[in-house]
């Protein structure tokens, strides 16, 4: 039976619905080229994860702390998926700890070292994430949809969350970066590197450092925006109130909301552990980042509770002495012990 006349039984979708026969017969990426690209995506997600957490504690705007927590979690998950996929295609050592392109290293170092919140937002959401989206879309267009179905699936799910991150970043950009534009310096670095995936024509120019001439120094001192007027004092002991059987139930609901929103300082502290603890297996960073995101959700649940009752939570003293004390007085291992 000739291929043009062939059709699945009962008109069912061909090839489990992944592709038509024509699509499955077209050439795709070689294993070597697929792995080369996957390693560059892996590096991009890993560096974005690093940037979100390294800048979270010292970022004063509460909403950005929460977004950085979520987006770091997304990046940790996709980094793990890419590591697994490369492991399916290659024997150890996988070379995943190596920098795939020194120009990409400079590109992400520049974002990490951005001197202002506006430049940080621009670097992440206007420069890095759109470039990574383009690379993953190109992978799906170039590879064979059947032979490389696992990579196609990985790219598909990563794109869903990258698009979500980009949508948030665009709103943040319009809110905070009215006078800022995507950095021509960062764009030039990407051109020199040939894009995130290295497939674009490369600009034959030297790559220079601007903000990253000196190594990044992590700032573990928590900062808060103007809605936190007295971060050094706690207006009430939530735990003693909640566990006091003589206290009425309704005020305990408000106290629970307060206890939840006060957990903003857990991501501030956990970010310091993750950032300052080097050389662990990726599963450690993935699990720790998932917990950090859980703690950020707890804080937002408290925020939602106050909003649902029409209570202005900014009138409540939400302190940061727990994260401040741990970050400034204990080692990362000691902080983890307290956690």
Chain segment 146-180, per-residue pLDDT in tens? 999 999 999 999 999 999 999 999 999 999 986 66
Q: What pLDDT is attached to residue 1?
A: 37
Q: What pLDDT is attached to residue 43?
A: 98
Q: What pLDDT is attached to residue 180?
A: 63
pLDDT interval class at 97 (50, 70, 90)? very high
Q: Give me the percent of the chain exceeding a pLDDT of 90.
A: 87
- The HSE-up count of residue 211 (CA atoms within 13 Å, CB side) is 19
pLDDT tens digits, one per residue of 21-37: 999 999 999 999 999 99
Distance CA 25, CA 122 (A): 41
Distance CA 148, CA 88 (A): 11
Distance CA 215, CA 168 (A): 29
pLDDT interval class at 4 (50, 70, 90)? low
> Does residue 58 contact residue 77 with C-beta atoms inside 8 Å?
no
- DSSP letter at 91 equals P
Contacts 24+ apart (CB under 8 A), 175-178: 176/61, 176/117, 176/118, 176/121, 177/118, 177/121, 177/122
- The HSE-up count of residue 40 (CA atoms within 13 Å, CB side) is 26
> Does residue 303 contact residue 313 with C-beta atoms inside 8 Å?
yes
For residue 316, pLDDT over 90 is answered with no
> Does residue 95 contact residue 40 with C-beta atoms inside 8 Å?
no
Distance CA 120, CA 149 (A): 35
Tell the CATH superfamily of the 25-193 domain: Ferritin, core subunit, four-helix bundle (1.20.1260.10)
Q: What pLDDT is attached to residue 48?
A: 98
Q: What pLDDT is attached to residue 182?
A: 67
**Between residues 246 and 209, which one has the greater pLDDT?**
209
Distance CA 1, CA 19 (A): 20
Q: What pLDDT is attached to residue 234?
A: 82
SS3 187: helix
> Does residue 236 contact residue 193 with C-beta atoms inside 8 Å?
no
Q: What pLDDT is attached to residue 292?
A: 98
Judged on CB neighbours under 10 Å (0-12, 13-18, 19+), 251 is: exposed
pLDDT tens digits, one per residue of 34-75: 999 999 999 999 999 999 999 999 999 999 999 999 999 999
pLDDT tens digits, one per residue of 7-23: 899 999 999 999 999 99
**Sequence-distant (≥ 6) Cβ neighbours of residue 272 within 8 angstroms:** 57, 218, 220, 323, 326, 327, 332, 335
Report the C-alpha dihedral over residues 250, 254, 260, 264, rounded to 10 degrees: -170
Mean pLDDT, residues 213-221 taken together: 96
> What's the whole-number average pLDDT of the chain?
94
Q: Give me the percent of the chain exceeding a pLDDT of 70.
A: 97
Residue ranges per structural domain of the chain? 25-193, 238-338
Distance CA 78, CA 132 (A): 12
């Amino acid at each position: 039976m000739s291929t043009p006349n062939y059709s699945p039984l009962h008109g069912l979708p061909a090839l489990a619905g992944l592709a038509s026969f024509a699509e499955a017969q077209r050439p795709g990426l070689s294993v070597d080229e697929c792995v080369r690209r996957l390693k560059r995506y892996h590096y991009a997600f890993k560096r974005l994860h690093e940037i979100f957490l390294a800048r979270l504690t010292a970022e004063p705007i509460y909403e950005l702390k929460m977004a950085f927590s979520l987006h770091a979690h997304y990046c940790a998950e996709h980094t793990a998926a890419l590591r697994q996929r490369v492991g399916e295609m290659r024997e150890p050592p996988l070379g995943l700890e190596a920098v795939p392109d020194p120009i990409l290293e400079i590109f992400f170092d520049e974002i990490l070292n951005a001197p202002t919140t506006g430049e940080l937002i621009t670097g992440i959401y206007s420069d890095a994430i759109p470039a990574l989206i383009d690379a993953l879309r190109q992978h799906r267009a170039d590879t064979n949809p059947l032979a490389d179905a696992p990579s196609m699936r990985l790219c598909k799910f990563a794109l869903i969350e990258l698009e979500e991150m980009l949508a948030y970043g665009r709103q943040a950009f319009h809110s905070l970066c009215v006078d800022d534009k995507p950095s021509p310096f960062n764009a030039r670095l990407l051109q020199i590197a040939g894009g995130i995936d290295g497939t674009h024509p490369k600009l034959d120019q030297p790559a220079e450092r601007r903000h990253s001439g000196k190594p990044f120094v992590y700032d573990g001192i928590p900062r808060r925006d103007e809605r936190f007027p007295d971060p050094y004092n706690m207006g009430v002991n939530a735990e003693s109130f909640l566990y006091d059987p003589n206290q009425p139930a309704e005020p305990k609901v408000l106290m629970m909301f307060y206890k939840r929103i006060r957990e903003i300082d857990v991501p501030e502290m956990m970010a310091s552990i993750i950032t300052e603890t080097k050389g662990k297996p990726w599963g450690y960073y993935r699990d720790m980042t998932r917990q950090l995101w859980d703690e950020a959700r707890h804080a937002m649940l408290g925020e939602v509770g106050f909003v649902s009752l029409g209570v202005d939570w900014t009138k409540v003293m939400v302190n940061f002495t727990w994260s401040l004390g741990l970050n400034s007085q204990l080692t990362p291992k000691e902080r983890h012990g307290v956690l």
